[in-house]
Structure 1
Amino acid sequence: MLKKGSKLYSILTGTCPKCQNESMYLDKNPLHLSKVLKMHENCSHCGLKYQIEPSFFYGAMYVSYGLNVAIGIAVFIISYVLLNYDIKVSFISIVASLIVLFPFVLRWSRNIYINMFISYDPTSKK
């Protein structure tokens, strides 16, 4: 399903968007909260510099906002419309899901943002 070379592969695995051979993050597990945003400076395989310019990943905040809104809407539809929960329970469900998914959304937003600017190149080497 997820094939190397697709943007979706790089986004979901957190691999280098150019070569997709190594993780961009020092710790692959996003649940280690103290290390959730710690990244390598460069890809050891292709040499891509992840921090393309100073404060590059500030733009990922906009992606994060969009992801959080999408998650909130999806949880609301599932809890209120499909499961017929009370409105209070639905909003508590939204807050709970956003708290639980927080470290994943942080990583996904960075992964999506860098993949907007860099494409896969199977011939890339150091």
Structure 2
Amino acid sequence: MALLKGTKIYSIVSGKCPVCHNESMYSERNPYILSQTLHMKERCGHCDTKYKIEPSFFYGAMYVSYPVGIIFAGITFILSYLVFNLDLIPTYIIMVAVMIVSLPIILRLSRNIWINIFMKFKKTTSLP
């Protein structure tokens, strides 16, 4: 993962600050602590980047969560139906289960993708 540092993929997958890649944007690292899944720090402790650019900034992440969810469901369908040759009903049940279980990850990935659309990595950042 260190090889990807400096790329948007690194920030998206790890949940690190999109500007400096040194600190997690989230208060809690584990997305499965459901009360803390979407709790983000106000600013990066390293480069002082403000994560919420404007009020309701992350509403845009809803538009990203749909294709991310489709990717999760598509991979589940391919594995269940085409690789393991399950019937359609068990395949759909598995798809629903995977979508429910992966919801916290999908929510965070969507936020990470959304913020990385608007911010760029800077090799050197200075503290104010």
TM beyond 0.5: yes
Looking at structure 1, the residues matched to 52 and 44 of structure 2 have their Cα atoms a distance apart, in angstroms, of 11
Partner of 1:51: 52
Looking at structure 1, the residues matched to 74 and 43 of structure 2 have their Cα atoms a distance apart, in angstroms, of 36
Pair 1:124 & 2:125 matched: yes
Q: Which amino acid aligns with 1:103?
A: P
Looking at structure 2, the residues matched to 71 and 15 of structure 1 have their Cα atoms a distance apart, in angstroms, of 22
Runs of 4+ with >3 A deviation: none
What value does the CA root-mean-square deviation take over the aligned residues?
Answer: 1.0
Partner of 2:28: 27
Instruction: Kindly state the Cα deviation for residue 3 of structure 1 after the two structures are TM-superposed.
Output: 2.3
Give the gaps of 5 or more residues in structure 1.
none
Looking at structure 2, the residues matched to 86 and 10 of structure 1 have their Cα atoms a distance apart, in angstroms, of 38
Identity %: 52
Give the gaps of 5 or more residues in structure 2.
none
Summarize the alignment of residues 1-126 of structure 1 with structure 2, pairs less than 5 Å apart. Answer: 1=1, 2-126=3-127
Looking at structure 2, the residues matched to 5 and 51 of structure 1 have their Cα atoms a distance apart, in angstroms, of 21
How many residues get paired? 126
Q: Which amino acid aligns with 2:7?
A: S
Looking at structure 2, the residues matched to 120 and 77 of structure 1 have their Cα atoms a distance apart, in angstroms, of 35
